Amino acid sequence: MEQTWRWFGPDEVIQLNHIRQTGATGIVTALHHIPYGVVWSVEEIQKRKRMIEADASLGLRWSVVESLPIHESIKIGEGDLAPLFDNYRQSLRNLAECGIKTVCYNFMPVLDWTRTDLAAPVPGGGRALRFNAHEHAAFDCFMLERPGAEDEYAPELLARARAWFDRATEADKRTLLANIMAGLPGAFDRYDIPGLRRMLDRYKGMTREALRERLARFLREVIPTAEEVGIRMCVHPDDPPRPMFGLPRIVSNEDDLAFLVGAVESEANGITFCTGSLGAGRTNDVPALAKRFASKIAFVHLRNVAKEEDGSFQEAEHLGGDVDMVSVVTTLLEEQKRRRDAGDPRWRLPFRPDHGHELLDDVGKATHPGYPAIGRLRGLAEIRGVMTAVAAIKGLPV
């Protein structure tokens, strides 16, 4: 599998020469400075590509776009969407012209990944991302004050949420809001409480079925263009895979993935297989999902989570937690062999180590939450070891 690394661009603390030291050669990045819905021009794409390839001795290439964002109006289905679809299609054409053929995106309404604690302690002094169910409920019910929210939580969890809110200082509340907003690491917009309420109001009455139809329409609009120019689109699962703040989530489980790949039958309509996002779902059998949808996987995020009974979870070590990483990696390597044997010139799957712990010198550095250097380096090294061992035992191509 192609070892890749997410890079947020030239202003990030972790630079390209650091990435090469991890062993990764593929860069996963996006043009975060361009507002949602605006065309990514060939000039802007080439500018980023030249940055990545400037030092030929590093041997780096722009392997995956993560993400080419979908404008919120498309998800809501409001207004004249034709210009937004036209712009998205043109961005795909421009990326293909520049030789970038794998595009990750998500269809999560309003918010991307959501955590309530960005510095949960791990043994030895490191820090991890964490989702505390009672803090999420406290934010939803008592800070956001979403109508009807209290009816959606179990009484015991709601009581813990109320207790947290009653003892929370104003600084605690500001930190919780900031932590939830941090899940938009490359987003163009951020929300305060009034802004988030206004955004949620735009989705008022949105059902799961209606949001699914918005996704299906998006796929019908853009997949033919992706197919035409040789791009593989790959949706990222919801994180966490559950309704958030009254909004439906529709890329959360086996049924959702089956709906997605069936909405438009095409090699260009694929999946970003994220073991952590899917792993946070209590009923998701992640190794089984990898087997069922192996042929539709175009990009892979490998990370792990440890779940708790109340719905809380924490980012675990890459080979720890609840997901059987060895089983998943074995399935991916077997799928690679199938593709190679079938003559697919793009048979090697790009993967990246997702969300790492802050360890050693990373603690306190101004990296994006979940994206420190050392924690991800550890994860990449562990996964590389699993890949090498499985490939050697089973005679599979790495």
Catalytic residue among 88, 355, 357, 362: 355
pLDDT value of position 211: 98
**Alpha carbon separation from 17 to 55, 56, 117, 353 (Å, rounded):** 9, 11, 30, 17
Helices (H) and strands (E) in the chain, counts: 14, 12
Residue 163 has pLDDT above 60, yes or no: yes
Q: In the structure encoding, which two tokens stand for residue 124, read together?
A: 């030895």
**Alpha carbon separation from 110 to 15, 245, 294, 338 (Å, rounded):** 30, 10, 29, 38
Tell me the per-residue pLDDT of 346-389, one tens digit each, with 9 for 90 and over. Answer: 999 999 999 999 999 999 899 999 999 999 999 999 999 999 99
Catalytic residue among 71, 134, 136, 236: 236
Residue 187 has pLDDT above 60, yes or no: no
pLDDT value of position 164: 98
pLDDT value of position 185: 61
Angle at 367 between CA 364 and CA 371, to 5 degrees: 115
- Average pLDDT for 204-231: 97
Is 354 considered catalytic here?
A: yes
Q: In the structure encoding, which two tokens stand for residue 332, read together?
A: 């991916």
**Alpha carbon separation from 79 to 68, 108, 267 (Å, rounded):** 21, 19, 30
How large is the angle between the packed helices 208-229 and 82-97, nearest 10 degrees?
A: 40
Detail the DSSP E strand segments found in 197-291. 232-236, 269-274
User: Sheet of 126-131: strands edge to edge?
Assistant: 117-122, 126-131, 313-316, 304-307
Is 32 considered catalytic here?
A: no
How large is the angle between the packed helices 325-341 and 373-394, nearest 10 degrees?
A: 60
Catalytic residue among 71, 136, 301, 318: 301
**What CATH number should be reported for the domain whose range is 2-114+205-394?**
3.20.20.150
Tell me the per-residue pLDDT of 296-352, one tens digit each, with 9 for 90 and over. Answer: 999 999 999 999 999 999 999 999 999 999 999 999 999 999 999 999 999 999 999
Catalytic residue among 234, 274, 357, 362: 274
Task: Look over the chain and give the mean of its residue pLDDT values, rounded to a whole number.
Answer: 96
Is 236 considered catalytic here?
A: yes
For residue 57, what are the contacts with CB-CB under 8 A and spacing of at least 6? none
Q: Which amino acid is at 54?
A: A
Catalytic residue among 112, 117, 256, 354: 354
Q: In the structure encoding, which two tokens stand for residue 261, read together?
A: 């790949």
Q: How far is residue 141's CA from residue 160's CA, in Å, rounded to a whole number?
A: 12
Cβ–Cβ under 8 Å, residues 30 and 65: yes
Where are the chain's structural domains? 2-114+205-394, 117-199
With a pLDDT cut of 70, the percent of the chain lying above it is 99
Tell me the per-residue pLDDT of 233-268, one tens digit each, with 9 for 90 and over. Answer: 999 999 999 999 999 999 999 999 999 999 999 999
Is 371 considered catalytic here?
A: yes
Q: What is the dihedral of CA 182, 193, 195, 88, to 10 degrees?
A: 30
**Alpha carbon separation from 90 to 33, 202, 298 (Å, rounded):** 18, 27, 21
Residue 313 pairs in a beta bridge with 131, 307
Q: In the structure encoding, which two tokens stand for residue 139, read together?
A: 């934010």
Is 104 considered catalytic here?
A: no
Question: Model's pTM, two decimal places?
Answer: 0.96
DSSP 6-20: E---TTSSS-HHHHH
